[in-house]
Chain A
């Protein structure tokens, strides 16, 4: 009688062990976790910015600022400024040259007459 109970108990424990051994990893896998793998390490903190590039105290979050727009704006200003100045000089010189030519020819005409 006792031996039959022991046998039942052993069978039950073996079944339970088997169920745990097979079923738990499947459940864990379904839940997206693993019992064998160590928990993922915490993400390393972002490297500190070099001196002179730290966020000013109290400034709003800079993560949402689009760097592409800022760079494009800066380079657009560089080229517009430089070429704009060149165009200004060229036009000014052309105007003055025209004025000089007119004045010189008028002086010539007066002198000849």
Chain B
């Protein structure tokens, strides 16, 4: 029997595309190289000192969080318009990755802040709006798990709210000069810029590999649900 899919073969089990494996390996290697360069190539910043090393992973993580916004926006609006599962899966994957990278930002930022500002947290416009965005995304996942038949529609609505919040996060640092630093990448030394952009590249590759894997997982879940319906129809418990 062919159960679905280009994803799954009853004989061989789960099939992982070689390109996904290659992408994951390249991303992991580049991330390792980036981490090595952060500590052994990039110069130590003169004023802030060693703690500035957090910058090289903190900022790409924040960018990846905001990268999820267009995915969530497209997926959610398309799902609300068409009710097709593939758009819901896209939105769900975007939400999950935004929670992952957003959480990394929310942990690494305060660690840096403790040294630079003297405190872990300030109720600055950017920090607060970012926290609200991550909490909205967590709410999306909770709704999806517990809200019953209308869960996907409510989750799509919440995702759109989070996207609006993401736009607010992006402009907040320019609109209100709070405690959070402004955009600083242009002011970096050459070696720092090299390491930073390598780190950004490795995070992008990792992001796309994770997104691909997460979309496959969603597709597999849909296939499994269909198979469960089939098994019920065939008289199985």
Contact = CB atoms under 8 A, between A and B. Distances in A.
Contacts of B177: 51
Interface size class of B (residues with CB under 8 A): 35 or more
A56 B119 contact: yes
Contacts of B13: 97-98, 101
Contacts of B63: none
B57 to A, nearest CB: 5
B114 A93 contact: no
Given A70-B111, A86-B210, A51 B182 contact: yes
A111 B228 CA distance: 15
Main SS at interface, chain A: helix
Contact of A106 (B24, B31, B48, B231): B231
A78 B220 CA distance: 28
B100 A85 contact: yes
Contacts of A81: 100, 103-104
A107 interface: yes
Contacts of A65: 114-115
B50 A108 contact: no
Interface in B58-72: 58, 61
Interface in A24-66: 46-56, 59-62, 65
Contacts of B224: 96, 99-100, 103
A104 B227 contact: yes
Nearest to A70: B111
B236 interface: yes
B55 to A, nearest CB: 10
Interface string B88-104: 00000000000010011
A19 interface: no
Contacts of B175: none
Nearest to A83: B28
B51 A70 contact: yes
A89 interface: yes
Nearest to A65: B115
Given A68-B50, A93-B217, A103-B228, A60 B61 contact: no
- Which of A49, A52, A105 has the most CB atoms of chain B within a 10 A radius of its CB? A52
B118 A56 contact: yes
Contact of A111 (B100, B112, B213, B234): B234
A107 B111 contact: no
A110 B61 contact: no
B220 A96 contact: yes
B223 interface: yes
10 contacts: A49-B116, A50-B187, A62-B117, A67-B50, A70-B112, A75-B35, A78-B61, A96-B221, A97-B13, A104-B1
Interface of B: 1, 3, 8, 10, 13-14, 24, 31, 35, 46-51, 53-54, 57-58, 61, 100, 103-104, 107-108, 111-112, 114-119, 122, 177, 179-182, 184, 187, 206, 210, 213-214, 216-217, 220-221, 223-224, 227-228, 230-231, 234-236
